[in-house]
Chain A
Amino acid sequence: MDLKNKKIIALGERDGVPGSAISLCVRSAGAEVVLDVTHCFV
């Protein structure tokens, strides 16, 4: 899956990788983030 120019939904989790971290990563690969959330189930 080539991320370049893709629209990314970043679904992060507090106990895993946060959405904000995913966003920074995929933007460096040329993707556009259209939704960025971090869920917490504690």
Chain B
Amino acid sequence: MADRLGTEGMVVILGTPNAESSRLYGLTVTEGDPSWAGVLAGANLNLPVYHITEPEIKAQIDPGIYEDQVGLTEIVLDTDEIREALSHVRKGDA
């Protein structure tokens, strides 16, 4: 996808259920697959990556649509841990 369209203006938005899966997805689309098992091993895409529940993303979404699509799930997710995990990924110290 990144090869075909280029990474300019591309952003990854995750719907992962916990901090660890968020960190793994996040590392994969920034530094490359941390397990070195998949096709993105060593691929430094450096794509910006956020979770759909992060406040700066949520604030841009139509509130009614967000409530319908994410509201119930958000209640059971540890959004603070997810936000912290992705913050470390973006800073490069995950």
Contact = CB atoms under 8 A, between A and B. Distances in A.
At the interface, is chain B mostly helix, strand, loop or mixed?
mixed
Contacts of A29: 57, 60-62
B70 A21 contact: yes
B46 to A, nearest CB: 13
A9 B15 CA distance: 11
B9 A10 contact: no
Contact of B70 (A1, A4, A7, A25): A25
B10 A25 contact: no
A26 B69 CA distance: 11
B21 interface: yes
Interface of B: 1, 5, 9-18, 21, 25, 29, 47-48, 50, 52-53, 56-57, 60-62, 65-66, 69-70, 73, 77
